[in-house]
Amino acid sequence: MDEWSYNLYTGCLIRSRFPHVEKSARVVFRRLGVDLTEAADVGCCPEPVGMRSMDEEAWLTVAAHNMSVLASEGRPVMTLCNGCYSTFRETEHLLSGNRHHRKVVNGHLASIGREYVPGLEVEHFARFLYEKIGPRRLKELVVSRLPGLKVAFHAGCHLVRPSDLLAFDDPENPTKIEELLRSLGAEVVDYPRKSLCCGFTIVGVDPDLSLKMGYEKLKNMKSSGAEAVVVVCPSCLQQFDMNQRQMERKFEDKLELPVFFLTELIALALGESPDSLGLALHRTDALSLVQALWLNGDTSAEGISQVHAAQAGE
């Protein structure tokens, strides 16, 4: 078996709002035998839409600073957020391809005695799960399948776009992560205009429109038969989970669509209990769906209890 070790870079949003997401990610990676260490606390990546819009030069400089600090730690970085992933990849691209950018950035960094160090290897956790673990291995590890759970997957723009740069999955119809979901036993539903943005980034500009964009996506998912939504980015999670009640009020429509971070579903399928994952922390009730699944589903109860016993033994 390959040995993987990464510096975990959780990013501001997960760190400050979604402890349950961090928990599930740590659990999944431990179970997959990935050695996770704590990345230096360099602060915000920085966030690739707001800060870049305000001052691209500052955004690039801070990102270059962070990447240099992380590079000096000598381990590849694992991000849990499309935003951090996008910032690091774009920065690397801009600084490696453009002498002018490098000069400007190094000029700023020199005043605090630093220089941009290229070569930081950055991995998005979902990409890692697909490319390094893969649906087949994941299927072997599953002890409690999620039979027939109908999920709709939302990739989030910055996992797949700009596609020239990231070259991960077809941005128009990303299906790689869906393969992972199927390997857990879930049923993936297709829905119209799958590649549309969740709208989170403009919440500070036009909050009503932001909600409308999120609502439209959720409605498309629901009317296509989805019982739950799966995301791989905390921004999309915030939009779909935390803002869902607001959307329901505003558009007078009961959505009640639980929103899972990919690692949460994997952790459940690997036999983790909903309690240990903090599933109750979801703003839109996710617990009842999982419990219902457990009660009615044909998941192997023995498998789960075995895992729990094993964990207790540790």
- Which residues contact other proteins (rule: CB under 8 A)? 12-13, 15-17, 19-20, 22-23, 26, 38, 41-44, 46-58, 61-62, 65-66, 108-109, 111-112, 157-158, 161-164, 170-173, 192-193, 195-197, 199-207, 209, 212-213, 220, 223-224, 276-278, 281
Least Å distance, CB 288 to other proteins, is 20
Contact, 199 vs 167, CB < 8 A? no
Instruction: Tell me the helix, strand and coil percentages in the chain, rounded to 5.
Output: 55, 10, 35
Q: By C-beta, is 6 or 185 nearer to other proteins? A: 6
Q: Which is nearer to other proteins, 167 or 309 (CB)?
A: 167
- Minimal distance, residue 62 CB to other proteins, in Å: 6
Q: Are 188 and 181 in contact (CB under 8 A)?
A: yes
As measured in angstroms, the least distance from the Cβ of 71 to other proteins is 15
Q: Which is nearer to other proteins, 182 or 219 (CB)?
A: 219
Please report which helix (H) or strand (E) contains residue 7, including its range: strand 4-9
Nearer to other proteins, 145 or 161 (CB): 161
Q: Which residue bears the tokens 């994952």?
A: 277
Cis ω before 174 (30° cut-off from 0): no
Q: Measured from the CB atom, is 209 or 301 closer to other proteins?
A: 209
Nearest to 149 by CA among 244, 305, 25, 269: 269
**Cβ at position 212, least distance to other proteins in Å:** 6
Residues 6+ apart with CB under 8 A from 281: 18, 19, 20
